[in-house]
Homo-oligomer: A and B are copies of this chain.
Amino acid sequence: MDIRDMLHQVKSGEMDMDTAEKLLKDLPYEELGYAKLDHHRKLRSGFGETVFCQGKPDSYLVEIYKRLYERDEEVFGTRATKEQYELIKPAIPQITYDPISRILKAEKPGKEKKGWISVCTGGTADIPVAEEAAQTAEYFGCYVDRIYDVGVAGIHRLLSQRERLTKANCIIAAAGMEGALGTVIAGLAECPVVAVPTSVGYGASFHGLSALLTMLNSCANGISVVNIDNGYGAGYIATQINRIAEK
């Protein structure tokens, strides 16, 4: 309810004092409207609630998926397992599961997309993280150009794709092991680059730490970093930037 409307109702007597006081007591957060604002922002921006499925107890997960699906007619979750998919399927038959990206979602048909982001990987093993990023961006309304397996150990692979990079409003670079992909891309492209270290590797990769440090220490301009394996986070930021560009 709008503040002004409520004030009018108080004035006119449509709303009694107690009801108004109670409403206003919650108002700071309704009016500041953290939840509401939040809600508005979600609706306006198209970023609905996302579910981080990993480790969620079964009963919670089903409940959350159902509630979100009922409200929004779609629901989007990351880091889901096949078991979780089978758990939710009876409740939401429209649900689909991609074992590569581990995204578990039900999506409204016919959603509009605009603008391009590119999602690049150093190797094929980085693809699950890249797909989490790419499908997140697609879900939130971006066209995505997948440029996979263009790691810097064979620099010609990346160079031969540089024209595709130029059309993107934002580029996501997912790489494990040495993680140098983002730097080279940021040196070639004009748009912001979001680097995602992946936990791909062994030994001194320390589960993604090596790639993370590489990316944080990038000599290139225009590159920022998200958590190891955080494809969703990268997809979200890329979408924000893409929307800014397409406004």
Contact = CB atoms under 8 A, between A and B. Distances in A.
A178 B26 contact: no
Contact of A204 (B28, B100, B194, B213): B213
Copies in the complex: 8
B245 A227 contact: no
Contacts of A210: 210, 213-214, 216-217
B216 A203 contact: yes
Interface stretch (A8-16, A80-88, A101-109): A8-16
A11 B10 contact: yes
Interface in A209-247: 209-230, 233-234, 236-237, 240-241, 244-245, 247
A141 interface: no
A90 interface: no
Contacts of A31: 24-25, 27-28
A interface, how many residues as a size bin? 35 or more
Interface string A46-84: 010010101111001000000000000000000000000
A91 interface: no
A187 B155 contact: yes
A124 interface: yes
Nearest to A221: B236
B245 A221 contact: no
A237 to B, nearest CB: 5
Nearest to A163: B25
Contact of A224 (B11, B206, B226): B226
A160 B29 contact: yes
Contacts of A10: 7, 10-11
19 contacts: A25-B31, A28-B32, A28-B159, A47-B221, A152-B152, A152-B183, A155-B155, A178-B180, A178-B218, A184-B184, A192-B237, A192-B244, A202-B228, A204-B217, A210-B213, A210-B217, A216-B226, A241-B244, A245-B247
Given A34-B160, A45-B190, A153-B184, 7 more contacts: A34-B159, A152-B219, A178-B214, A203-B216, A217-B227, A241-B244, A244-B245
